[in-house]
Amino acid sequence: MSVVTIRNVEFLNNPARFLDKYKFRVTFECISPLSDDLEWKLIYVSSPGQTEYDQELEDCMVGPVPVGINSFEFESDAPNPHRIPHNDVLGVAALILTASYKDQ
């Protein structure tokens, strides 16, 4: 069972142009107090199955984290379009938001 569960991710600037900054409000629940920070990362996946094209857009530390519902605003630059393979520019893409605690 996870100690931290993401409850909601709200896009604060939707709609936006491709090159606009990404702005989110992340709401998560913590069922046990965490004395150290949670590390959050936002990754843009432009070419599924080819991780060399993944772009880590931003990372931030949040903490210490009390038990209960918590939220924060997360902002990152848009992906670099020059790092997207030409054949994938109009293809499937994904944003992955991760949280880790003590590198886990």
Per-residue pLDDT of the chain (104 residues; tens, 9 = 90+): 789 999 999 999 999 999 999 999 999 999 999 999 999 999 999 998 899 999 999 999 999 999 999 999 999 999 999 999 998 888 889 999 999 998 88
- Residue 90: predicted pLDDT: 86
- Residue 92: predicted pLDDT: 87
Q: Can you tell me the distance from the alpha carbon of 98 to that of 56, in angstroms, rounded to the nearest whole number?
A: 11
Q: Can you tell me the distance from the alpha carbon of 78 to that of 23, in angstroms, rounded to the nearest whole number?
A: 10
**Shortest CA distance to 93 belongs to which of 26, 43, 19, 57?**
43
**Shortest CA distance to 6 belongs to which of 100, 86, 84?**
100
